[in-house]
Structures are given as structure tokens and as C-alpha cells.
């Protein structure tokens, strides 16, 4: 029942969407033209204590969805 649509957006190290926060609302904004049928993706930049493997298949894949610590 309901839902935001975020459940249809997957992780990629070379995403076609970016997240934008506006007045307390999270929006997904296209970074480039998206072809019909193309998977929607963002870089999750997961902030966990352990590294979570990534299998996105992008040429620039860093091997983990975990955000690098500074």
C-alpha cells in the first residue's frame, strides 16, 4: 500500500540518477538521458562498519557499495 518508488532504484557505481534533498523531501534527479527500459540507479554510499560487496557491473565499479571513510 503506497510507497515512494525508491524500491525500484538499485545501486550502481556509475548511476543514472542523483539524490537531491529539498525542503525535507528526497528526490531522484536524472544525471543524463535514461533510455526506456533502463534500470534506475543511484550510488548508495552505504555507511556501514563492514564492506558490502557490489556486483553492479559498471566499468568504474569500486567493488563495494560501502562509502569510503575520510
Q: pLDDT tens across 12-57, in order?
A: 999 999 999 999 988 999 999 999 999 999 999 888 888 899 999 9
In a domain, 51, yes or no: no
Cα separation of 45 and 19, whole Å?
Answer: 11
Give pTM, 2 decimals.
0.79
In a domain, 24, yes or no: yes
**Domain count of the fold of the chain:** 1
In a domain, 63, yes or no: no
User: Helix (H, G, I), strand (E, B), or coil: what is residue 21?
Assistant: strand
In a domain, 18, yes or no: yes
* 68 pLDDT above the threshold of 80: no
In a domain, 47, yes or no: no
State the number of CA atoms in the 13 A half-sphere of 57 facing the CB.
3
In a domain, 12, yes or no: yes
Q: pLDDT tens across 3-21, in order?
A: 777 788 999 999 999 999 9
Q: Which domain holds residue 23?
A: 6-42
Amino acid at each position: 500500500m503506497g510507497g515512494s518508488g525508491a524500491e525500484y532504484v538499485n545501486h550502481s557505481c556509475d548511476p543514472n540518477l542523483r539524490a537531491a534533498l529539498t525542503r525535507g523531501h528526497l528526490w531522484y534527479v536524472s544525471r543524463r538521458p535514461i533510455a526506456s527500459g533502463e534500470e534506475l540507479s543511484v550510488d548508495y554510499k552505504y555507511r556501514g562498519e563492514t564492506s558490502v560487496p557490489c556486483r553492479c557491473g559498471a566499468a568504474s565499479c569500486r567493488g563495494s557499495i560501502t562509502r569510503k571513510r575520510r
